[in-house]
Amino acid sequence: MLRGIDPLLSGDLLKILDDMGHGDQLLLVDRNYPAAASGKSVIRLGEVGVLRAARAILSVLPLDSFIDHPLERMEVEDDPVKTTSLQNDLLALASESEGRSLEYGVIPRLDFYQRASAAYAVVHTLEDQPYGCFILHKGVIFQPVA
Amino acid sequence: MLRGIDPLLSGDLLKILDDMGHGDQLLLVDRNYPAAASGKSVIRLGEVGVLRAARAILSVLPLDSFIDHPLERMEVEDDPVKTTSLQNDLLALASESEGRSLEYGVIPRLDFYQRASAAYAVVHTLEDQPYGCFILHKGVIFQPVA
């Protein structure tokens, strides 16, 4: 437990989020995603959904403002326009966190499985909504904190 | 770099601070302290003084409210009352951070060297004031953050 830091952010997860640099990608995935097989570091959050996990992660992680789609989602049923309620909620959360209106990048399901190869780490949840898989691209912080 | 987190808190240091639980002790030491020989995890902050390091650490680390002296300092020249300006400044900083008036526990110099054996980790600075060695006892957080 640390002051001002969401308790869902364990030491291991904090280390990963801080070790990541500009452009590094974090996969945030549902219970069915083949996280372990990715060969990347996997943080298992246990019985927590993607939205709760994203709230904790986005409380400290800036998204990349240098690219058009710093937030990507898995495509739903081969329809690039169709979204789930979870995907809508996460987009609203990320837009609020960033203070700007974000739009999703959309990744076909089978392509998404390949994207783990370019990820820095995978955050695994027990999200039960289908297509609950996302990629977050880390951004930069220019303003002084201390 | 993470939002709202002092940039001096690297991933490695954040992991240590978060992994620590109630009562775990962190040594914060000057350039002359035998940190590596302690056999504990050592985080080297490079050319940073103890006060700057403490400001970063105390921005997230609560001190123990269950004991009388959650902050201890190395005794100066065998005089338990004598203090250095650094020790005075650090006490003021910690009291402000905690929102309560703290008093130091005082540890004779040779005893301080033994205290590393009970520490969770050592944060090593390039502090150049003598007797710039401290022990921080981690406290608890009850209020919800998220």
d(CA A15, CA B90): 27
The pair of structure tokens assigned to B8 is 């001096």
In the predicted structure, residue A145 carries a pLDDT above the cut 90: no
Report yes or no on B128 lying in a domain.
yes
d(CA B82, CA B14): 33
d(CA A126, CA A46): 6
Q: Where are the alpha helices (DSSP H) in chain B?
A: 11-19, 50-58, 85-98, 109-115
Q: What pairs with residue B27 in β-bridges? A: B122, B135
CATH assignment at residue B110: 3.40.1650.10
pLDDT for residue A60:
97
Report yes or no on A146 lying in a domain.
no
B96 touches chain A (CB under 8 A): no
pLDDT (tens digit per residue) in A100-127: 999 999 999 999 999 999 999 999 999 9
Report yes or no on A52 lying in a domain.
yes
Q: What percent of chain A has pLDDT over 70?
A: 98
What is the pTM (predicted TM-score) of this model? 0.91
In the predicted structure, residue B37 carries a pLDDT above the cut 90: yes
ipTM, 2 dp = 0.85
A6 touches chain B (CB under 8 A): yes
Report yes or no on B144 lying in a domain.
no
Catalytic residues of B: 22
User: What's the domain count of chain B?
Assistant: 1
Helix (H, G, I), strand (E, B) or coil at B136: strand
Query: What range defines the domain where residue A123 resides?
Result: 11-137
Identify whether the C-beta of residue A73 lies closer than 8 Å to the C-beta of residue A105.
yes
Identify whether the C-beta of residue A28 lies closer than 8 Å to the C-beta of residue A125.
yes
d(CA B90, CA A63): 35
What distances in angstroms separate CA A97 from CA A14, A58, B139, one per listed residue?
18, 7, 30
Report yes or no on A1 lying in a domain.
no
Exposed / middle / buried, residue A115 (Cβ in 10 Å: 0-12, 13-18, 19+)? middle
Report yes or no on A3 lying in a domain.
no
In the predicted structure, residue B58 carries a pLDDT above the cut 90: yes
**B142: confidence class by pLDDT, cuts 50, 70, 90:** confident
B141 touches chain A (CB under 8 A): yes
Identify whether the C-beta of residue B93 lies closer than 8 Å to the C-beta of residue B51.
yes
DSSP state letter for A66: S
Q: In terms of CA atoms, which chain B residue is nearest residue A143?
A: B3
Q: In terms of CA atoms, which chain A residue is nearest residue B54?
A: A146
pLDDT for residue A94:
98
pLDDT for residue B143:
75
Report yes or no on B59 lying in a domain.
yes
Q: What pairs with residue A71 in β-bridges? A: A136
pLDDT for residue A146:
56
Report yes or no on B18 lying in a domain.
yes
